[in-house]
Amino acid sequence: MRRMLSTGFVLWVGTLALPQVQVSDPLAIEPPCRPDIRVARLESFLAGYGSPVAPLAADFIAAADQHDLDWRLLPSIAMVESSGGKFYARNNIFGWDSCRTGFGSVREGIYVVAARLANSELYRGKETEEILRVYNPAPDYDTRVSRFMELLGTP
């Protein structure tokens, strides 16, 4: 026991004796993150419609960026499908799977639907208009979603 304590003490003291390394390369230090103006724009847009999912604006943006989707797509689908999260069941604000699928939370649904739109063979590699036609083949569906995307501004 005594030997173990002394060995531990020597190792601990040895770590104190290691030289301190100074970072002199300014590029090695990450600059502070600038706020993403899309988050504020989306939050304001959703709040303007009285949407209860406005506080999840950053999640919409993060999920879209993670999966290389237009950041306006998911919130616009939610606007058409659930009036921006006002009317939905099973935390499914997107009407995903004809509302048969539920999610653990609305936030989880945002990330799951984004992943499916990016990775499912039904959607992968398609332009936004094509994604919308597959998502819901109703004749005016893509136009309705596109209107909300236009209201959100440029990608």
Asked if pLDDT for residue 69 goes beyond 80, the answer is yes
pLDDT by residue (tens digit) across 13-45?
444 444 443 444 444 444 456 679 999 999 999
- Determine contact, residues 116/110, Cβ cutoff 8 Å: no
Q: What is the SS3 assignment for 32?
A: coil
Residues 6+ apart with CB under 8 A from 44: none
CA–CA gap between residue 117 and residue 67 (Å, rounded): 8
CA–CA gap between residue 8 and residue 124 (Å, rounded): 55
pLDDT by residue (tens digit) across 70-123?
999 999 999 999 999 999 999 999 999 999 999 999 999 999 999 999 999 999
- Split at pLDDT 50, 70, 90, the class of 155 is confident
Question: Closest Cα to residue 97, out of 85, 108, 89?
Answer: 89
Q: pTM (2 decimals)?
A: 0.78
Q: What's the pLDDT at 9?
A: 47
Could you tell me the domains of the chain?
Answer: 37-152 (1.10.530.10)
Q: What's the pLDDT at 154?
A: 85
